[in-house]
Amino acid sequence: MIKLGVNSVLFKEFDFATAVRHIALSGYDGVEISAIQGMCEHLDLTRWKEQAAELRSIVQDQGISFLSMEFGSVKDEQRLLSAFEAAAEIGIPIVNIGPGGKTGVEEDVQRSIDQLNRMSEKAASFGVTLCVKAHVGQAIHDTPTTLRAMSEVTSPAFGIDMDPSHIYRANENPEAALPAVISRVKHVHIRDCKGREQGPGPIELQACGRGDINLFAYCKAMADHSYDGPVVLEVIGAKPEHSLAQISIIAAETYGYLNACLKQLNAR
């Protein structure tokens, strides 16, 4: 069964306990904890050992589970090793990273693939899975570059985090692109967007069902190919002026949309 979750970056202006409580109230099965340096560090990898017991308790008390961790782009491999160690200790099965680099720069594509090879082997030693997603503007940015990474990174601890909004903004239709990569998809970041511009847009329009992506067709493609991993709402751009109610509405609205789609498709 597909599990639904929310990346805690949506609640970046609030503490992790508040985020998890409202994620659970919205109906979700789990949470992706944000460890994105400079944006949202609900998990602070410089002191994760101090946080570990409290983070586990917060999640357990709300009756949900850790689905994943978002690390961000890798500038410091030692920090990523700390993420693997923290994930193994806390019970987080997947660490998601961005590919880094720039679109259209061959050296950056190769550098990203080399890093994925190296770090997925490290992830395996900790018993966790390392996932990367195609990201607008970065080295791996569309289906062809994703397929190249899939062909060159062979570790079973490596997977694809297939985010339909980035594929849509790369001028592809995600529901048509998913089958090509589904064999290695181990995580899905999901959100909607209006248009194919580079940025994800206002947070309200990232709620699933409010934008232009055919997310029902994307859900059908997941179901048709028997995907049963996490599907995690990732909304970027929350600001101090966004109230807890506004943030929670985005989470709850998306849960209702995705849960209804997936139930109709017998995937939940």
Q: How do residues 176-213 score in pLDDT, each as one tens digit?
A: 999 999 999 999 999 999 988 778 889 999 999 999 99
Q: What is the pLDDT, as a whole number, of residue 200? A: 87
Q: What is the pLDDT, as a whole number, of residue 52? A: 98
Range of the domain at 42: 3-265
Amino acid at 2: I
Q: What is the pLDDT, as a whole number, of residue 18? A: 98
- Average of per-residue pLDDT across 102-130: 97
- Average of per-residue pLDDT across 151-169: 97
Q: Which helix (H) or strand (E) holds 232?
A: strand 230-233
Q: What is the pLDDT, as a whole number, of residue 198? A: 74
Q: What is the CATH number of the domain that holds 205?
A: 3.20.20.150
Tally of domains within the chain: 1
pTM flag (> 0.95): yes
Q: Which residue do the tokens 């899905």 mark? A: 188
Q: What is the pLDDT, as a whole number, of residue 199? A: 81
Q: What is the pLDDT, as a whole number, of residue 196? A: 86
- Please give the torsion angle defined by the CA atoms of residues 39, 73, 66 and 188, in that order, rounded to the nearest 10 degrees: 110
Q: What is the pLDDT, as a whole number, of residue 125? A: 98
Asked whether the CA dihedral 197, 201, 206, 211 is positive or negative, the reply is negative
